[in-house]
Amino acid sequence: MKQMKRIHYTKPSITDLEVKYATDAARNGWGERCYEYIGRFEEAFKAHFGVKYAIATSSCTGAMHMGLAALGVGSGDEVILADINWIASASPITYLGAKPVFVDVLPDSWCLDPEKAEAAITSKTKAIIAVHLYGNLCDMDALLAIGEKYGIPVIEDAAEAIGSVWHGKRAGSMGMFGTFSFHGTKTLTTGEGGMFVTQNKAFYEKVLSLSNHGRVAGQTRQFWPDMIGFKYKMSNIQAAIGYAQMERIDELIAAKRRIFRYYQNALSDLPVTMNPEPEGTINGYWMPTIVVEQDVTFDREQLIEMFQQQQIDGRVFFWPLSMLPMFGEKPENRVSYELYGRAINLPSYHDLSEGSQQRVCRVLRLMLES
């Protein structure tokens, strides 16, 4: 019997173009050319996302850490974010001695509930982080209005939202600063890596100094740091891959949207909801996700086991962060605590075939129609 080909939940799209640029960086990207592809990547990124300033980093986590540090987040401060998220959105808050404050999510977008975020504001609140989950967009109009009302900066974690657009503005370009991830699972990849972006020149210069071990631009003394900084720089070879991916960005986003549309059409008669795309927005659909309706019997672990039997990688929806042992439980975040167990991410790599998607859908039907 012919063995079924494994369907991975995600993998990057790497072509001869990425190999060509990475090879050039490895062979020639030294000395005077040691930052060449970093500069090219940053410039291409700025142009696509409509931002004035960008810094390529070793991770989205590092970009968030530096941005929060530049805001002055420190011991005793609080930063508000949604309970349903990956821990990378919360960890940098703790690195600075501050406290992440987890609030509930909206049932349709699975992103930060603006009303709950506003209710959580205290005299200790230093920032609000809007995480665009699985490509879904936070209500940026509402969050930015809240930030302006209370004088609190709104930050965008757009790690999962390349390709997503909020009323003409790309995710990550609207807050005080935005961060992106280029992990191997993301729509655009450098293997590992991230990007910090902002529209604010003074803030950019502060983060740029922090990113270079605290060395301020224009300092004439060699190896003279003016402050304690960080080392979250992206390598030239990684940036070469990223630059190639930027030349293919429209193709990469279109593939994600094509994959989602197939699932959406194929599963339209099942008792599930999927990633929303409200009027005036575009969803980059990084991770197509189903949420099973509450009146339907559903066992997430059983579905994952059924996937495994068919050589399909299933990926669980994020747990509420407040359920993790390092944080305190918040069962009052009702939507978050009801959501995670009824949801799962579907395979979505760029060259996923319709035949493979049909296999995924057959398992879902077997589970939900039985």
Q: Residue 292: helix, strand or coil by DSSP?
A: strand
Contact between residue 159 and residue 179 where contact means Cβ atoms under 8 Å apart: yes
Is 5 tagged catalytic?
Answer: no
Q: Give, in order, the Cα–Cα distances in Å from 23 to each of 33, 183, 239, 281, 351.
A: 13, 20, 12, 38, 24
Can you give the length of the chain in residues? 370
Among positive and negative, which fits the CA dihedral 106, 290, 294, 83? negative
Catalytic residue among 116, 186, 256, 330: 186
C-alpha distance across the termini of the chain, in Å: 27
Identify whether the C-beta of residue 160 lies closer than 8 Å to the C-beta of residue 137: no
User: What domains, with CATH codes, occur in the chain?
Assistant: 16-247 (3.40.640.10), 249-369 (3.90.1150.10)
C-alpha gyration radius of the chain: 21
**Tens-of-pLDDT digits for all 370 residues of the chain?**
457 899 999 999 999 999 999 999 999 999 999 999 999 999 999 999 999 999 999 999 999 999 999 999 999 999 999 999 999 999 999 999 999 999 999 999 999 999 999 999 999 999 999 999 999 999 999 999 999 999 999 999 999 999 999 999 999 999 999 999 999 999 999 999 999 999 999 999 999 999 999 999 888 898 999 999 999 999 999 999 999 999 999 999 999 999 999 999 999 999 999 999 999 999 999 999 999 999 999 999 999 999 999 999 989 999 999 999 999 999 999 999 999 999 999 999 999 999 999 999 999 999 998 7
This prediction's pTM: 0.96
CA dihedral sign of residues 363, 366, 369, 370: negative
